[in-house]
Amino acid sequence: MIVMKFGGTSVEDAAAIDRAAKIVRGRLAEDPVVVVSALSKVTDQLIAMANAAGDGDRERALSLARGTRERHYVAASELLGTGVFAQIHSELESDLDALDELLRGIAAVGELTPRTMDNVVSHGERLSSKLVAAAFTARDIPAELVDARQCIVTDDTFTKAIPQMDATNDAVCERLRPLIREKRVPVMGGYMGATREGITTTIGRGGSDFSAAIVGAALDCSRIEIWTDVDGMKTADPNLCPEALRIKSIGFEEAAELAYFGAKVLHPSTVLPAVHKNIPVWVLNSRNPANEGTRITARAPHCRNTFKAIAAKKRVTVVDIIATRMLGAHGYLRTIFEIFDRHRCPVDVVSTSEVSVSVTVDSNEAIPLIAADLDQIADVKYGGRKAIVCLVGETLRDTPGVAARVFTAVKDINVRMISQGASEINITFVIDENDVPEAVQRLHTEFFSDPDPEVFARE
């Protein structure tokens, strides 16, 4: 048994859905369960409609909804012959009519609750799963549409509802196992679920990966495939470094560190349910299915290179706080972090000495206000246009002398802050944004000119 999750770009239109069908057909012997996102950008549009309706702008809400309607009808007509089209058209129509009704209702009351928001946005996956299941059936795949709300049981924290694992595992097995036994291919929407009472919820943006991991873990499947539009994860951003290699295999912790510093492919925390059960997760490209992509496993594979990848995150501001007045006083870090917290400003890298603390934050408008608050207790300076560079690899733990190699490679670049996380699998430092291409290039040459063929592929 495997779970195949297709993201928004992998089902964005008729051509993409047709590609997805071919990919699934090639895996029928492995008993796939298919999880789909909404068509790309549809979730954003649904949120915009809901907000417009909530602001009382009924016309705008309904006009956005007309665009969504059109897009699904066009895809359906391109995918299906006349007879089947008529049937799926009326199924999509009833969802889309219900959506319009809902938007009119929201506009009439002029109030949008999180619960109603979830009802609106769940339409993205309701529609995509219907469309995909019909297209698969028309392409000789024995697809069976499954309503995710019968499988993913959540609490009622609307818009970021928490799946209740025991109930969900039972529901997934009960609903899906009989279908798989009959060689059917379940097709369900990701991202949404329902409370025990049956009220529709969603589990947070990007939640379809989470749905796929939950289903895969519940069914004890042998693999989860996350189909996207890139060839897996790379050793560096290919725009910065054309020699970047594909990472064939990466550990969960390594992937998590990279995601934190800007690798956008997938947020590994969403696949934790699978990793906990030692189920490998593959990131694959639906536009280039022959590519082997990247495999994420609980533990990193043995690798003769120290690092798996170099990530760089731009648009960072460094805030230096020199707290001479608080010398020796306890609780001063707490006081500082409380100020960031009050402004809802997450902090990334921190380095401290007895009297000074430097932190990085994403550049944002609140920084002058934060600095003004900090100014009450310390001397503060801040500067933008900085970047965080982060090298990640589990081999780092048992390799001496790595820091020397890293900083020798960038010895004439001005390094502002240095930190090595408690996980001991990354070295992180802060430089000027302008120096990023040069630094990444040099580090890539230093650490990847002789790549371990077991772990990296040149292509």
Contacting positions for ligand ASP (CB under 6 A):
7-8, 37-38, 43, 124, 190-191, 205-209
Q: Which is nearer to ligand ASP, 191 or 448 (CB)?
A: 191
Q: Which is nearer to ligand ASP, 43 or 317 (CB)?
A: 43
Query: Which runs of consecutive H residues, i.e. helices, occur in 26-81?
Result: 42-54, 58-79
Q: Nearest-CA neighbor of 131 among 189, 83, 82, 46?
A: 189
Q: List CB contacts of 59: < 8 A, sequence separation 6 or more.
A: none
Residue type at 147?
D
Q: Nearest-CA neighbor of 138 among 187, 68, 181?
A: 187
Check if the beta carbon of residue 386 is closer than 8 Å to that of residue 432: yes
Strands 2-6 and 32-36: parallel
Taking the complex as a whole, how short is the minimal distance between the CB of residue 38 and ligand ASP, in angstroms? Answer: 4
Interface region with Mg ion, contact rule CB under 5 A, candidates 2-10, 60-68, 335-343, 437-445: 2-10
Q: Which is nearer to ligand ASP, 286 or 351 (CB)?
A: 286
Taking the complex as a whole, how short is the minimal distance between the CB of residue 121 and ligand ASP, in angstroms? Answer: 8
User: Which x/- pattern, by CB under 5 A, does the window 205-244 give for Mg ion?
Assistant: -x--------------------------------------
Strands 223-228 and 249-251: unpaired
Out of 2, 3, 6, 7, which residue is the one contacting Mg ion (CB under 5 A)?
Answer: 7
C-alpha 394/C-alpha 303 separation (Å) is 9
Q: Which is nearer to Mg ion, 206 or 238 (CB)?
A: 206
Taking the complex as a whole, how short is the minimal distance between the CB of residue 135 and ligand ASP, in angstroms? Answer: 18
Q: Taking CB within 5 to 8 Å according to partner kind, which of Mg ion, ligand ASP, none is near residue 38?
A: ligand ASP
Taking the complex as a whole, how short is the minimal distance between the CB of residue 36 and ligand ASP, in angstroms? Answer: 9
Q: List CB contacts of 373: < 8 A, sequence separation 6 or more.
A: 339, 342, 343
Compute CA distances 327 → 49, 143, 239, 294, 358, whole Å.
53, 67, 45, 49, 16
Q: Taking CB within 5 to 8 Å according to partner kind, which of Mg ion, ligand ASP, none is near residue 43?
A: ligand ASP
Confirm or reject binding of residue 451 to Mg ion (CB under 5 A).
no
Tell which positions 168-207 bind Mg ion, by CB under 5 A: 206
Site residues (CB under 5 A) for Mg ion? Answer: 7, 206
